[in-house]
Amino acid sequence: MGMKTIKVEAIADKGAKIAGKMRDHTIYIDQPVQGGGQDSAPTPLEYMFFALAGCIITIGRVVARQRRIKLNDMRVNVEGALNPDVFMGKNTEERAGFPQLTVNVFIDADISLEEKQDFLAEVDKRCPVSDNLLHGAELVFNVVETANT
């Protein structure tokens, strides 16, 4: 199988709101009221955490099926703390991102704790979102002259 290309378009909406278009779907990003938004949708960082949690569950289902593990339930909580002064331009000493993310995974399956740890390690190894957060991807930024990117 060849490479799979994923494409998302983000369009500035009213206020702090942003519309995201991907395939036949539209989702929205907003900021809390104290951040200048209407709190009508999750923030980009909340979506990033959701993308990580969702990818872990998706890949978990694949790995469970391949290993013939009956996965009764799987839940993922992701959390992290960052310094908002960096993205507000008040602090130039720290990095803008999270120094650490904590990913707590509940796995309901009839396997031992050691097997669950091995299962989770395999899921993490195969998760594209986890891989990009851990190892980064080269980012290429281009300024374009038309809205048709």
**Residue with the two structure tokens 């290429």:** 140
Q: Could you tell me which of 77, 129, 142, 82 has the C-alpha nearest to residue 103? A: 77
Query: What is the strand order of the sheet 9-12 is part of?
Result: 9-12, 18-22, 25-29
Alpha helices (H) along the chain:
44-67, 84-87, 113-126, 128-135
Question: Average per-residue pLDDT in the chain?
Answer: 93
Q: Could you tell me which of 20, 10, 13 has the C-alpha nearest to residue 38? A: 13
Give the model confidence (pLDDT) of 23-49 as tens digits: 999 999 999 998 889 999 999 999 999
